[in-house]
Structure 1
């Protein structure tokens, strides 16, 4: 898993917004980087001191680890090609645009020499990782209810994020993070009920700017344990401060976190927890770099914080939420059926 220089050979497919975090992380880890995209790869490569590949095949051939940073509808194609070549794969969330696509990717990984790593980076953000450790240690007792919020400025009008066939919209693109978190904290999900609203927000009179899109979604999860989770997302007007937070309620206490709260992570009613701020600035401390370190450890045989099946289930929960939006009723999720589908492909 090294080039002649002794550095990991990493190829990244896609040079959009999320690529900056991956590029910075791999540079911290001393990788030999190659980039490919349908447009802009050469300029991006020159900017960061990487090479540009002319085709996906050329990138895969020259890499040991392939990062897939493209829209969800393309993940299956690129992941299957890389896994078939025996390459390790880190794939941005969601693992696939549909459950069937995610299952295909996970099933291919099960017979490949490569390791598949779904990029659920929120598991590596300090407040979430600390809360997970404290919940696992029994600090709040048995988890009874969780609540997650994720809000920020909406993508530009006309962007591919609004094409449900390509991205799954706000639920599949944004809330998949917190759907994964709800399952991480409260366990297996058995039922999903969701609502979504769309609209626009006006701009100042005479500004000449088009109205900005506004999307909200609220997803209620029932867990096998009997716990419930409420996951809310908001794509809001330009300039809206990006905010995340959670409340974890147990039989003995509750853990709370918000990026708007200077204390960051608090424990009620037994006292205030230690601050766990999201790292800013230094890529060496980035959650994205932390997840890439975990991938490298997994390639060497260590257990990873995120497994391929986690990627499959998060897509299944998001897809159930989209179905619930359209049917206006609850939708069941069966993890045993999903696991069986992965193993029988």
Structure 2
């Protein structure tokens, strides 16, 4: 019987374990691998053995699927080792802290009998998926601009997120979700300009695209206490507009179930008419894991979350950081 391993026992390790359970695979989670194991720290993995040695997973032929939920600097070495061992790897975003390291991971995946999917979970929120379907249907016409916003109080669930050398900072760990969305709709990014009020303040980023489109991202990862996690996106096309908004009930990170919503709705206004819909429940992490499991079991093609797109999102994130440092626009080759 094929088994699952989760590397990491923190917030994201728990989110992935709950997602595997949601996908009906709780009993298949064989290992939780972490440097400082704490029995029971991942309740959804009730039958898992807590280990410290990655080699146990690499050498266990029963383990076919692995969620990597560790700090970003560890991603490359862990993912490359797993792929060399023929595992199917669900790797938390960002792929790595540098494009060079991200490409090493992608090259390892290309040579592997296993496969790689980068976990850009925003692609699996129902609201974001609804807007993608509307856009692909042609109802909005040609997309001209995409605006995205993402706000959160200072994260308390992982201390390493506040260390830019570990997380890459807000633009790499947080804003990357929205850069990924912009790229998905507008195509090849060619120039990035970023401005920020202070090192811990909100940032405004403009991205220009080869096809003429323009995207804007507003990010704030240090909002006042009591401000709920909020994300929005607007698509502006020649034939209509579409909007999605998610806002948590409380001032917490978006919940691993996706059901912690005070506001969770999307609307479309176009020449074909108007649509407004509330989303009662959502399970983006569960949907992401189920998609990964199904695709890994049938060839390992991940069209909903392709690795090249994850690398391009990282390129934009790093260009935004470079723009802040330079005080002007930065080109992307």
State the TM bucket, normalised to the shorter chain. 0.7 to 0.9
Cross-structure match for 2:7: 13
Deviation at 1:43, TM superposition (A): 3.2
Residue 246 (structure 2) pairs with residue 259 (structure 1)? yes
Matches of 1:167 and 1:221 in 2, distance apart? 22
Question: CA contact under 8 A between 1:140 and 1:249: conserved in structure 2?
Answer: yes
Cross-structure match for 1:339: none
Cross-structure match for 1:290: 287
Deviation at 1:27, TM superposition (A): 1.6
Matches of 2:264 and 2:275 in 1, distance apart? 8
> Helix, strand or coil for the counterpart of 2:277?
coil
Deviation at 1:273, TM superposition (A): 1.9
Greater share of residues in strand: 2
Matches of 1:309 and 1:244 in 2, distance apart? 24
Question: CA contact under 8 A between 2:21 and 2:44: conserved in structure 1?
Answer: no
The farther-off stretch of 294-303 and 19-28 is: 294-303
Change (3 A) 1:87 1:177: same
- Post-superposition Cα deviations, 1:84-103, rounded to whole Å, max 9, x if no partner, equal 11111110010111111111
> Helix, strand or coil for the counterpart of 2:198?
strand
Cross-structure match for 1:35: 32
The CA RMSD measured in Å over matched residues stands at 2.1
Question: CA contact under 8 A between 1:87 and 1:115: conserved in structure 2?
Answer: yes
Gaps of 5+ in 2: 248-261
The correspondence of residues 209-288 of structure 1 with structure 2, limited to 5 A, is 214-235=200-221, 236-260=223-247, 264-270=265-271, 271-277=273-279, 279-280=281-282, 286-288=283-285
Question: CA contact under 8 A between 2:206 and 2:214: conserved in structure 1?
Answer: yes
Change (3 A) 1:251 1:46: closer
Cross-structure match for 1:66: 66
Deviation at 1:263, TM superposition (A): 7.4
Matches of 2:201 and 2:94 in 1, distance apart? 19
Q: What TM-score results when the alignment is normalised by the length of structure 2?
A: 0.87
Question: CA contact under 8 A between 1:263 and 1:274: conserved in structure 2?
Answer: no
The farther-off stretch of 69-78 and 12-21 is: 12-21
Deviation at 1:239, TM superposition (A): 2.2
- Post-superposition Cα deviations, 1:262-286, rounded to whole Å, max 9, x if no partner, equal 5711223554324252735xxxxx1
Query: Which residue of 53, 71, 90 corresponds with 2:51?
Result: 53
The farther-off stretch of 128-137 and 157-166 is: 157-166
Change (3 A) 1:82 1:183: same
Gaps of 5+ in 1: 200-213, 281-285, 335-345
Matches of 1:66 and 1:157 in 2, distance apart? 22
Aligned residue pairs: how many?
309
The correspondence of residues 1-345 of structure 1 with structure 2, limited to 5 A, is 3=1, 8-31=2-25, 32-33=28-29, 34-45=31-42, 48-49=45-46, 50-62=48-60, 63-156=63-156, 159-198=159-198, 214-235=200-221, 236-260=223-247, 264-270=265-271, 271-277=273-279, 279-280=281-282, 286-299=283-296, 300-301=298-299, 303-304=301-302, 305-334=304-333
Question: CA contact under 8 A between 1:143 and 1:186: conserved in structure 2?
Answer: yes
Question: CA contact under 8 A between 1:127 and 1:278: conserved in structure 2?
Answer: no
